[in-house]
């Protein structure tokens, strides 16, 4: 466990642990929702092995009146729904904080934890008294946590009412009763609690979502009409999100027989003019890669979510990594223009997703949203999404009417040809997986000149892409002791670490390559050239981002931090690294 010297003075960190199947994540999310409803910020982290039951699950949440960028390692309140939780996590308390537990779970003689304030709550009995079922023990525990923190119960009550709105009224009543009883028990505890959190009344508008929900909302806002997927952790929850809303929102959501079907269906739906998307993890993307290339050569506007988990092959389904970067940039035989966007948090996940559809339509080529389990799975409070900012730009597209002398792949200056949908009178065309001529016919595409000019036509769209893709994001001062380059969700612990080392007087700035392809070589080169010490922080073994920087910018960096054990960077780990780099002569 990380012991951190970095100040985290105004926040409370709660960990709930228990056996798989005990509803740990749902309980945690209910708690987080209560805090956000009370005007606070939260960031949660759920860890679970790739097993349904029998494994140990935990949910960790930070709560603070300040904006939070990432998870952190320490815990202030440990909620133990089994004794394993105490064994595994008591050390995180580091001699302070509280443990909420059910004496019935504890070993004979009780837990031997030093320093922590032990809060005995008869969770099982509370549930039985309220006539509830044992899975409600976690609700009692939530009440106890709030009581212990001297935090009002009302927001939790509201959260429970919302959560069980569709269930029988008695279920809600039982849950509320159980929470209240837990609250009362917690209030009796006389722990010397370091931080006192209070509801904030004038809080700005905010949402509590995970990355997949943010992507799903972005896709819906963008007018997605067809979504196809084969379940694969950590992308499955996006399928569930879309499936739950498909009928109401007029989206055809197809759980396909495999990932090959998903990607090919999406290309077919794009041919029909629907805004079409699929999402998967790296393994599914491997199976999609041929059809991904099909989208490239056929100039199909499709959006593909690739949410990385550690590989290779089945790898570590429920953990995180950033190791698919080069794969998505080079996937599929041959060469074609593509755009790869890597959101770093839920706000970017929403924005980049709707923008991805515009880019795909304007460029008539596949756009990848490259995420990872750390982005997909964990909820974070964030400013309410800018719904009014969403635009729909479908580029060169004719959906109705008629056309004459139509050439699907007409060679143009910027490489983009007018797309006329099937159904338009006169729109005879062959959208083709073969190389082809301007009409789309395959045989003439074998001519060397036709091949060359169609190949160049497609590639010109990459030049166009450079002018319209989102630029890198910059954080921190212009001049800094250490300059960081990262992509995707690693942005989160880096920002958190920047705050941590900032308190020690170390200045750090950050360039996040929001678009990773086409690579923003110009901006990255400038950033490196104006920096004192540049480090690359990325969640892989091989240094794929660093390789891109070397290739595209011909620049060496000062140092690097990589992680490839399935876990996201802890901000404390990043802070230590930055401190160390800053301290070098």
Ligand X SMILES: Cc1ncc(C[n+]2csc(CCOP(=O)(O)OP(=O)(O)O)c2C)c(N)n1
Half-sphere exposure of 227 (CA within 13 A, CB side): 30
Cα dihedral 375/377/380/384 (nearest 10): 80
| Residue 255 is a binding residue for another protein (CB under 8 A) | yes
Task: Name which position in 327, 439, 502, 523 contacts its own copies (CB under 8 A).
Answer: 327
Q: Which residue, 33 or 309, has its beta carbon nearer to ligand X?
A: 309
Residue with tokens 């964030």: 382
The crossing angle, in degrees rounded to 10, of helices 282-298 and 259-271 is 30
The 162-191 contact track toward its own copies, x by CB under 8 A, reads ------------------------------
In the complex, minimum distance from the CB of residue 122 to another protein, in angstroms, rounded to a whole number: 24
Piece of the chain touching its own copies by CB under 8 A; list 27-35, 185-193, 374-382, 452-460: 452-460
d(CA 498, CA 6): 11
15 strand-pairing partners:
60, 78
Write the CA distances from 572 to 278, 283, 555, integer angstroms: 35, 31, 28
- CB 36 within 8 Å of CB 5: no
11 strand-pairing partners:
none
In the complex, minimum distance from the CB of residue 330 to its own copies, in angstroms, rounded to a whole number: 4
| Residue 273 is a binding residue for its own copies (CB under 8 A) | no
Q: What is the DSSP string of 110-156?
A: ----SSSEEEE--HHHHHHHTT--GGGHHHHHHHHHHHHTT--SHHH
77 strand-pairing partners:
14, 98
The entry of ligand X, another protein, its own copies, none near residue 113 (CB within 5 to 8 angstroms by kind) is: none
The crossing angle, in degrees rounded to 10, of helices 521-529 and 544-553 is 90
| Residue 298 is a binding residue for its own copies (CB under 8 A) | yes
Residue 476 burial (CB count, 10 A):
18
Task: Name which position in 405, 449, 478, 505 contacts its own copies (CB under 8 A).
Answer: 449
Decide: helix, strand or coil at residue 546: helix
| Residue 550 is a binding residue for its own copies (CB under 8 A) | yes
Query: 389-423 in b/e burial notation, b at 16+ Cβ within 10 A?
Result: ebeeebeeebeeeebeebebbeeeeebbbebbbee
Half-sphere exposure of 500 (CA within 13 A, CB side): 26
In the complex, minimum distance from the CB of residue 434 to its own copies, in angstroms, rounded to a whole number: 5
Q: Which residue, 306 or 494, has its beta carbon nearer to another protein?
A: 306
The 388-427 contact track toward its own copies, x by CB under 8 A, reads ----------------------------------------
In the complex, minimum distance from the CB of residue 208 to another protein, in angstroms, rounded to a whole number: 7
| Residue 441 is a binding residue for its own copies (CB under 8 A) | no
Chain residues in the site for ligand X (CB under 6 A):
230-232, 259, 283-284, 287, 314
Q: How many residues bind another protein (CB under 8 A)?
A: 105
The 235-264 contact track toward its own copies, x by CB under 8 A, reads -------------------------x----
Q: Which residue, 43 or 336, has its beta carbon nearer to its own copies?
A: 336
Query: Which residues of this protein are in contact with its own copies, per CB under 8 A?
Result: 49-51, 55, 260, 281-283, 285-287, 289-290, 293-294, 296-298, 308, 310-316, 318-319, 321, 323-324, 326-327, 329-336, 432-435, 443, 445-446, 448-449, 451-452, 455-456, 459, 540-542, 547-548, 550-552, 554, 556, 564-567
């Amino acid at each position: 466990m990380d012991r951190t010297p970095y100040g985290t003075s105004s926040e409370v960190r709660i960990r709930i642990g228990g056996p798989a199947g005990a509803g740990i994540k749902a309980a945690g999310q209910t708690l987080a929702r209560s805090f956000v409803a009370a005007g606070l910020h939260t960031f949660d982290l759920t860890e679970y092995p790739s097993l349904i039951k029998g494994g140990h699950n935990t949910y960790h949440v930070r709560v603070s009146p300040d904006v939070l960028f990432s998870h952190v390692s320490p815990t202030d309140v440990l909620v133990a729904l089994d004794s394993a939780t105490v064994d595994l996590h008591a050390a995180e308390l580091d001699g302070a904080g509280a443990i909420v537990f059910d004496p019935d779970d504890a070993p004979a003689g009780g837990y031997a934890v030093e320093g922590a304030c032990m809060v005995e709550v008869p969770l099982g009995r509370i549930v039985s008294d309220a006539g509830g079922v044992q899975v409600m023990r976690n609700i009692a525990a939530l009440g106890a946590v709030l009581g212990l923190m001297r935090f009002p119960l009302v927001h939790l009550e509201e959260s429970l009412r919302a959560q069980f709105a569709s269930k029988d009224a008695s279920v809600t009543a039982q849950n509320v009763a159980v929470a209240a009883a837990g609250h009362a028990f917690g209030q009796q505890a006389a722990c010397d609690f370091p931080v006192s959190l209070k509801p904030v009344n004038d809080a700005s508008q905010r949402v509590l979502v995970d990355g997949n929900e943010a992507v799903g909302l972005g896709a819906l806002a963008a007018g997605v009409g067809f979504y196809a997927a084969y379940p694969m952790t950590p992308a499955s929850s996006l399928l569930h999100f879309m499936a739950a809303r498909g009928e109401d929102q007029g989206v055809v959501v197809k759980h396909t027989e495999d990932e090959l079907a998903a990607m090919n269906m999406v290309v077919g739906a794009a041919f029909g003019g629907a805004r079409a998307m699929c999402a998967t993890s790296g393994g599914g993307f491997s199976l999609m890669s041929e059809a991904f290339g099909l989208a490239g050569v056929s100039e199909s506007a499709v959006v593909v979510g690739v949410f990385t988990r550690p590989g290779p092959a089945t790898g570590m389904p429920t953990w995180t990594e950033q190791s698919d970067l080069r794969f998505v940039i080079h996937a599929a035989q041959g060469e074609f223009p593509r755009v790869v966007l890597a959101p770093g948090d839920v706000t970017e996940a929403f924005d980049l997703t709707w923008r991805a559809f515009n880019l795909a339509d304007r460029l008539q080529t596949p756009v990848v949203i490259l995420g990872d389990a750390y982005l997909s799975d964990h909820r974070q409070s964030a400013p309410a999404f800018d719904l009014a900012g969403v635009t729909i730009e479908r580029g060169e597209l004719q959906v109705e009417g008629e056309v004459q002398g139509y050439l699907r792949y007409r060679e143009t200056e910027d490489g983009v040809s007018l797309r006329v949908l099937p159904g338009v009178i006169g729109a005879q065309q062959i959208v083709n997986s073969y190389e082809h001529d301007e009409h789309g016919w395959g045989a003439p595409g074998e001519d060397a000149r036709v091949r060359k000019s169609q190949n160049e036509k497609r590639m010109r769209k990459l030049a166009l892409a450079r002018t319209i893709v989102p630029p890198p994001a910059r954080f921190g001062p212009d001049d800094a002791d250490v300059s960081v380059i990262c992509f995707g969700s690693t942005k989160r612990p880096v920002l958190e670490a920047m705050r941590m080392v900032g308190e020690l007087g170390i200045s750090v700035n950050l360039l996040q390559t929001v678009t990773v392809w086409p690579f923003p070589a110009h901006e990255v080169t400038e950033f490196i050239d104006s920096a004192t010490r540049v480090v690359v922080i990325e969640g892989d073994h091989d240094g794929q981002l660093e390789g891109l920087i070397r290739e595209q910018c011909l620049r060496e960096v000062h140092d690097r931090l990589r992680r490839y054990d399935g876990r996201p960077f802890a901000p404390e780990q990043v802070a230590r690294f930055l401190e160390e780099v800053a301290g070098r002569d």
